[in-house]
Amino acid sequence: MSITPIDARLDLVLKRELAVPVNLVWRGLTEPELVKQWFCPKPWQTTECRIDLRPGGEFYTNMQGPNGEGHAGASCFLEIVPQERLVWTSSLLSGYRPKPPLAADSGSCENIAFTCVITLKETAGGTAYTAHVMHSTPDQMKAHEGMGFHEGWGTTITQLEEFLKHEKE
């Protein structure tokens, strides 16, 4: 269940059934060394990850592509309900500090402002995972979708599941 109703003009949603228990999915989402293993579609790599797991805490990743391209993203956690819900926004920096205004080129992922609500629920086979990604304007949502949101986030969740199947509790 999402904390905010889905608005088809502004929101993107990804739902998956993961064949791993909730506690492992939570660890995969909240432990920096684990996040680095799956957070961006291969052959890209997450070279840095910082997580200060508290409301107002930092969520930072630096992703590097195979040809030297890169994307760094700093966000702020808004809500943490262990093993149930993780909410963060790219609109704020740690300490709830507003980010500078977005650049005119909204085609870069650093320029997409969104709030992500990840919801986890235990199922008989593992974990129901939902990512509800909310944008402030239809253009921001369309830009994020056009960058391959469903394919990219879908790929990374598959990578998370495969990685966690081999992780020890």
Cross-strand bridge partners of residue 154: none
DSSP state of 121: E
Which has more pLDDT, 142 or 3?
A: 142
Q: Which CATH architecture has domain 11-95+110-165?
A: 2-Layer Sandwich (3.30)
Count of CB atoms within 10 A of residue 12's CB? 20
CA–CA distances in Å: residue 62 to residues 99, 104, 151: 17, 22, 19
- Give the pLDDT confidence score for residue 100 in this predicted structure: 83
pLDDT tens profile 11-63: 999 999 999 999 999 999 999 999 999 999 999 999 999 999 999 999 999 99
Position of tokens 């990604």?
133
How large is the average pLDDT for residues 59-81?
Answer: 93
Domain ranges of the chain: 11-95+110-165
- Give the pLDDT confidence score for residue 106 in this predicted structure: 46
Cross-strand bridge partners of residue 115: 89, 134
pLDDT tens profile 84-124: 999 999 999 999 999 887 665 545 566 788 999 999 999 99
